[in-house]
Structure 1
Amino acid sequence: MKLDITTLEGQSAGSVDVDDAIFGLEPRADLIHRYVRWQLARRQAGTHASQGRSDVSRTRKKIYKQKGTGSARHGAASAPQFRGGGKAFGPVVRDHSHDLPKKVRALALRHALSAKAKDGSIVVLDKAAVAEPKTKALRGQFGKLGLINALVVDGSELDANFSLAARNIPNVDVLPVQGINVYDIIRREKLVLTRAAVDALEARFK
């Protein structure tokens, strides 16, 4: 498969041959879904918690005698049915993450890249670098390229000026190639890869 290469100024810079085993697969939604669930579950903090009946600071004394009152039997004011008592079956601190095989994660990433390629939503830049960290100038260049909602993936090292200029543009994310992931790919309309990122991805999957 051939992809056209463009510059930030919108000029043609040739083309690049990409591997069909990475960009030419028939996308499988089930693999992409499994990866996104795994990724978001790992991100979830799991620090939510509530006080149970053993955690609240209330007396443990039996509030009234067991028999003869005509009321239900109770042992402590910390029971959930009383105001100020503990919460029954409340959330506890826990880890929400689950396992996903490494080969499945790698395959899901290839299918996400292939899905963008199939939709014609991949833009290949010769390089993601600017002379000055000017957000207004970079936004104008993105506008010429039709990049309103995009993920920009560069090589292993990001250009400092480009990162500074892009970080205040809404709906635009910039990542090094080692940080590429399925969730960020599918949440943006366009995937912008530099020539260095394409070479790094092909080397990674070979």
Structure 2
Amino acid sequence: MKVKVQKLDGKAVSGKGGEVELNDDVFGVEPRADILHRVVTWQLENRRATARPTRERSDVARTGKKYGKQKGGGVARHGDRKAPIFIGGGRAHGARKRDFEQSLNKKIRALGLKMALSSKAKDGLVIVDSLEVKDGKTKALKGHFDKAGFAGKVLVIDGESVNDGFKKAAGNLPGVNVLPAMGANVYDILKHDTLVLTTDAVEKLEARFNG
């Protein structure tokens, strides 16, 4: 499919670079809610850190020797100092280790990213020629976004790396996030209202799947 290329301020790019041909194998896939849900769940679960366990009676490094006589001491009978009632003993019914990492087939992950890009290609995708911002000023970038009509949350994806001036200018704009093409992921694409890709980002994303 062909999509018009514009500048950051919404003005059309004239000449040969005024349009870009998007690969239908990447930007023309019919989205499926079940695939997108699986990929987003996998992505969010893998962000969770491992829940640390507490040391129970069998994990505490204390002597196992019976420290008192069975009878005649006038106190309760105990086998060792690992019991939870003693200082330094193991915790009773402590938290267990929980690892939330999930595995997901690479083909499903790739398909999910294609579907996320395709869903934005239908509504919410903007292609720009570059991310050049004068002096890296936030005020100048906000003016460009206002002229272009960007509303809500905006995700901007550049090529190999994000333009330094743009990254600096976008740092103080709420709801605006920037990523290199390698960092493109399903969750971030879907949770933003507008997806802005540079022409370099389009090339990198298409090469990512064709390579």
TM-score (norm 2): 0.80
**Cα distance, 1:113 vs structure 2:** 0.6
What's the secondary structure of 1:140's corresponding residue?
helix
* 1:91 aligns to 2:96 (yes or no): yes
2:131–2:198 CA contact under 8 A, matched in 1: yes
1:53–1:88 CA contact under 8 A, matched in 2: no
1:138–1:166 CA contact under 8 A, matched in 2: yes
Give the match for residue 37 of structure 1: 41
In 1: Cα distance, 2:86 partner to 2:145 partner? 58
Change in CA separation of 1:59 and 1:112 when aligned onto 2, cut-off 3 Å: same
What's the secondary structure of 2:182's corresponding residue?
helix
Alignment of 1:8-157 (within 5 A): 8-13=8-13, 14-54=18-58, 86-92=91-97, 94-118=98-122, 120-145=123-148, 146-157=150-161
1:78–1:86 CA contact under 8 A, matched in 2: no
Measured against aligned partners, the alpha-carbon deviations of 1:159-178 in whole angstroms (never above 9, x if no partner) come to 11111111221111111111
> What is the count of residue pairs matched by the alignment?
202
In 1: Cα distance, 2:166 partner to 2:59 partner? 51
Give the match for residue 191 of structure 1: 195
One-letter code of the match for 1:175?
L
In 2: Cα distance, 1:87 partner to 1:126 partner? 62
One-letter code of the match for 2:37?
H
In 2: Cα distance, 1:66 partner to 1:190 partner? 74
1:128–1:194 CA contact under 8 A, matched in 2: yes
In 1: Cα distance, 2:147 partner to 2:66 partner? 75
2:9–2:143 CA contact under 8 A, matched in 1: no
Deviation larger for 20-29 or 82-91: 82-91
Give the match for residue 74 of structure 2: none
2:36–2:186 CA contact under 8 A, matched in 1: yes
Change in CA separation of 1:140 and 1:61 when aligned onto 2, cut-off 3 Å: farther
Measured against aligned partners, the alpha-carbon deviations of 1:137-173 in whole angstroms (never above 9, x if no partner) come to 2122122222431110001022111111112211111
One-letter code of the match for 1:28?
R
Change in CA separation of 1:51 and 1:26 when aligned onto 2, cut-off 3 Å: same
% identical aligned pairs: 48
TM-score (norm 1): 0.82
Give the match for residue 170 of structure 2: 166
